Structure formats: structure tokens, C-alpha cells
Amino acid sequence: MQSILILCLTDPYSLKSLLQMNLNKDNTMQDYELQFKKFLLKRGLKLTRSRSLILNASFALHEHFDAEKLHSILKGMNVSLATVYRTLPLLVDAGLIQLAVRSDGRDRYEHILGHPKHAHWLCENCKTVTETNISSLLPLIEQEAKALNFTLDQITINISGTCWKCSNSEANPQS
């Protein structure tokens, strides 16, 4: 019998150990996996072991991640970095993850499901990213989209500056 590794984690900390589990596919398919499978089928692509692992690792993380991070989580599971890079755009197109911010020359993603649209507040000093809800902004943006006849896909609102903590410590430097 052919079986594949499937993760159904909500807790990122137990990820590594649970990655060892070898469950039957049909019993554990998650919503997002079904969504991904549907999307792939429509494109004549397949839901493979690697893609499933990458998808589940993404959803197990409740923080921003980049290709390298996913790859390191899947270390020892024989998933190459190239495949991670090949899979990320698929997940984006499938509407499962989105590019959150780009900082330090790396693209950082986040999963979307059950994750309301939000803005990222990036502190230029300590690099911390804070999130806030943007539901109040959405109607205005959608209205503008309609005016432009623009089909919305992703909305990215990134605000950079200095967070409360850092602007306090900058106020009294090296003293």
C-alpha cells in the first residue's frame, strides 16, 4: 500500500516529531490540502509528497517564513530547496499563502486561511514585525479597484518606521 506523510499540526513546536508520523492520506486531508489539490488539478499538476510536506509545514507555522526556513524544517525529509522555491508560487497562486514582507533581501510569506487581511508594521531598528487588522481600509481599496476596473489579488500594506520600544531607546543613545 502506498502511503504518504501528512501533517495536521496546529502547534509548530511539535512539528519535528510529528513529521515522523506516517499517516494514510485519505484519513487526514485538511481543508487547505483539498483546496491545493483542486487548484493543482485545474492546472494539470499533482499533489505530491514534497508539495504536501511544504504546504503542511507552512500551515504549521504561525509566523512569517521564507524558503530557507521551510527547507530547514523539512531537513532530513528529502525535500530540496529547489522544490520549496518551486512550490511557493503555487501556494501563492492557490490563494493559500501570500508574500508578507521582503526584508534583508529575503521574501517572507505567511499562510492565509483564517487569517484576516492585515498591515505589517516593520521596525527598521529591531526588525520586529507587528500586525494590525485593516478591515477598515478594505472598503476604500475595493472601491478604488472597482473604479480602476482592477481585479484584486493581493493587498500588501507595509509600514516601516520605529516602534515604541526603539524610539524610546534612541532618545537616549550611548549614554
Partner DNA sequence: CACAAGATGAGAATGCTTTGCATTTCCTTG
Partner DNA sequence: CAAGGAAATGCAAAGCATTCTCATCTTGTG
Residue 108 gets the label, from left (phi > 0), alpha (psi -120 to 50) or beta, of beta
Shortest distance, CB of residue 41 to DNA, whole angstroms? 8
Among a copy of itself, DNA, none, the one that 40 touches (CB under a kind-dependent 5 to 8 A) is DNA
CA angle 5, 6, 9 (to 5 degrees): 135
- List the grid coordinates of 27: 484519513
Interaction of residue 41 with a copy of itself, rule CB under 8 A: no
Interaction of residue 13 with a copy of itself, rule CB under 8 A: no
CA 169/CA 39 separation, integer angstroms: 48
Instruction: Give residues 106-125 in contact with a copy of itself (rule: CB under 8 A).
Output: 119, 121, 123-124
Shortest distance, CB of residue 8 to DNA, whole angstroms? 18
In terms of CB distance, is 21 or 152 closer to a copy of itself? Answer: 152
- List the grid coordinates of 23: 499517516
- List the grid coordinates of 85: 522555491
Write out the residues near a copy of itself by the rule CB under 8 A: 102, 119, 121, 123-124, 130, 132, 136-137, 140-141, 144-145, 148-164, 167
